[in-house]
Structure 1
């Protein structure tokens, strides 16, 4: 449909760019760690806690932010979120002790709260459920791109800018990568349109066609409002499944550079380029699986089997611990499969939720699930300190992914979906 293409060209590249910096500002401490941990004397446990505490702040303010978005609109909400988190991300350059580290990471989570679910909810105004996997795949490519481009860029900044104007390379990473978020936040206020009916760049016939398609394909919500969502067990099975996927993704995101370094590779640029490989695979897997999911209109097995296969490959990486090449390939493919599962997952809630139920339900699923971003870095950090290896942590992540696949099957059975 011509108007769908028009909407996609207007919205998706811009949202992809915004989400790219959102993901990069979450995980760039994984690269900064290669310098800052030694310089500041932080233990792996301190690093794991700081990496994860972001998600506590995020979870606490996620649902209120998304419910507010429904009232004030995406344009103002996303503008507020991006400017505040960009400023906080840049402020990470002032970290000099664990307390400051924890506080700034927590505040980064508070200010970014609501961005991802708000963006997902915003897209339900513009696209029907049958197109959602491909739409999600395009926007969520920001994650793999954040890893793929962010890894070599971050390590290059740390290499060439170290000592410039008396600042360490890791400080320049936070400053340079946080600034674009503030700029994009200001642009958002003038660029985004809250709803198709307000879009001056669509004519009346295009607005009517868009409304007709969304209404035709939008399933009736089984919830009367957010209060009903809170009482629905389906939401919590979905949230737990998302929790396990997020745990695996952020375990990779935060600890892969350290894993590569522990294999004996010390050159920062080499670590950066190797860290990009799993995210290149992720981008390919996300597009391929999203396309087949939309074509077949099948969500369950696309999401479940990719998560379980990723778990199996994490176990392979543990068994191949002494063979870095094999372990790295297994982790790279597992990363791609987890991102594919993640993408298909977000095509599911819009089928069952709409209105305030969608705003609150998507935020609730996302906020509970994102606790995985707090749990998994801490599990990996404790495993590293207790065993001097990351392998025990990968085993825990694998078990969680299998449990998440089972939780998704239960959720689908509850809705009697094939």
Structure 2
């Protein structure tokens, strides 16, 4: 990207202000989003499965059915965001899912749980790709990896903070109208989505020109840089329609790569609390609810640190293929190894390596689609990648639960997780080899090599 010398000083101050004023709020939205969709993982071993008489397969299906509704409306939701503006649409998504999340407080049986999980997916559809697209509309490509890393920190920190928080809420048994602790937890994590969604209507702005916290020089630099970037991506093609994304082989390969990451991520998110529950029988110890939450959080704090350092290295060197492929390979090998660990401590250590691998790759991965997609095609392409990838979100919990019921253990399910993550590593290498010459010149410094 070429920056006018007269506006060069504005670049640093503008990106700093975006990092301070915009990214933390969007990251907070993502924090609440991820906590609400994974809250079922904290509720399951702390009374929900017993109260609702759920088998492992039923729990896995209820966890995964969320992604059916999510997938069905993902692309339409992101196109609506492109049409109506990110501020209104992201706030609408958040308020809607908050209402549904609160309703989990009163679920009574398996069918009701399935319906609410499906509706939660419908309500959340479009939030994550919409947030990625929104940040991409505010940040030039040269700075995008750093900003997406700061945004993505919310995901591992959701478990670092959210797991102990969920444990504290679950301990409040009978505090709110006599509700069981797991029900009160659902209420406690659902209500903030409604509150923050309403605040988003006031706090977020659709474009840099509307940001009162940027001065005129910063607005001119940012608007000019983003317009020049969009023009370069569209050079020779004019308007790029949404259907371009559906015809792009690169988009589909990126979708399959993302599938592997999400499969590994949600296999951990939904079943790690249950695996930790099994540590009690191995060790003869009894863990309190908060202790279980703290143990669940252990893999994610190192993951947040590794993600920061790995993304910083990618920003300094320029994104390379190995910034994505190596973590995928490490995760693919490490997660089955957890099955052969001889102690809970060693098991958590291996799982921590897996979590570090997944989170090291994700923010770097999401810098790729917006390098070659623009306008409606960017909205459709980012949503399509997230849609196909989130098939892993449905497959991982359901297949993990079903294979556990079938085999009586986690050995086969975890080998399946490892296979999909290794497949992501292979596809990333193949994509880099076949597409290297087709990356637009404007993204050359950051293109995978």
Same structural fold, with TM-score higher than 0.5 when normalized by the shorter chain: yes
Q: Say whether the 8 Å CA contact 1:353–1:361 is kept in structure 2.
A: yes
Give the gaps of 5 or more residues in structure 1.
none
CA drift of 1:217 comes to 5.4
Question: Does residue 253 of structure 1 match 2:239?
Answer: no
**Which piece of structure 1 moves more, 211-220 or 399-408?**
211-220
Pair 1:72 & 2:93 matched: no
Q: What TM-score results when the alignment is normalised by the length of structure 1?
A: 0.96
CA offsets 1:220-239 (integer angstroms, 9 cap, x no match):
15782211111111111100
Q: Deviation per CA, 1:9-39, whole angstroms, max 9, x where unpaired? A: 2101101111100000010110000110011
CA contact (8 A) 1:318 1:395 kept: no
For this pair of structures, how many residues does the alignment match?
A: 417
Match of 2:213 among 188, 192, 201: 201
Which residue in 2 is equivalent to 1:242? 258
Structure 2 residue aligned with 1:123: 135
Q: How does 1:7-406 map to 2 (within 5 A)?
A: 7-34=18-45, 35-162=47-174, 164-215=176-227, 220-221=233-234, 224-264=240-280, 265-320=286-341, 322-406=342-426
Indicate conservation of the 8 Å contact 1:133/1:347, yes or no: yes
**Could you say what secondary structure the match of 1:166 adopts?**
coil
How far did residue 272 of structure 1 move?
A: 0.6
Asked if the contact 2:93/2:127 (under 8 Å) is kept, the reply is yes
Whole-Å Cα distance in 1 between the matches of residues 193 and 389 of structure 2?
A: 24
- Which of 409, 413, 417 is 2:433 aligned to? 413
SS at structure 1 position matched to 2:177: helix
C-alpha contact (below 8 Å) 1:290/1:343 kept by paired residues: yes
Q: Secondary structure at the match of 2:212?
A: coil
Question: What SS does the aligned partner of 1:28 have?
Answer: helix
TM superposition shift of 1:299: 3.8
Q: Is the 8 A contact 2:168 2:290 kept in 1?
A: yes
**Post-superposition offset of 1:346:** 0.6
Point out the more displaced range, 132-141 or 385-394. 385-394
Shift of 1:163: 6.1
Q: RMSD between aligned alpha carbons?
A: 1.5
Deviations 1:313-356 (A, max 9, x none): 11221222x43221220011111110111121111111111111
With the length of structure 2 as denominator, give the TM-score of the two structures: 0.90
Larger Rg: 2
What is residue 283 of structure 2 aligned with on the other side? none
Alpha-carbon distance in structure 2 between the residues aligned to 1:308 and 1:162: 46
Q: Does structure 2 conserve the Cα–Cα contact (< 8 Å) formed by 1:299 and 1:344? A: no
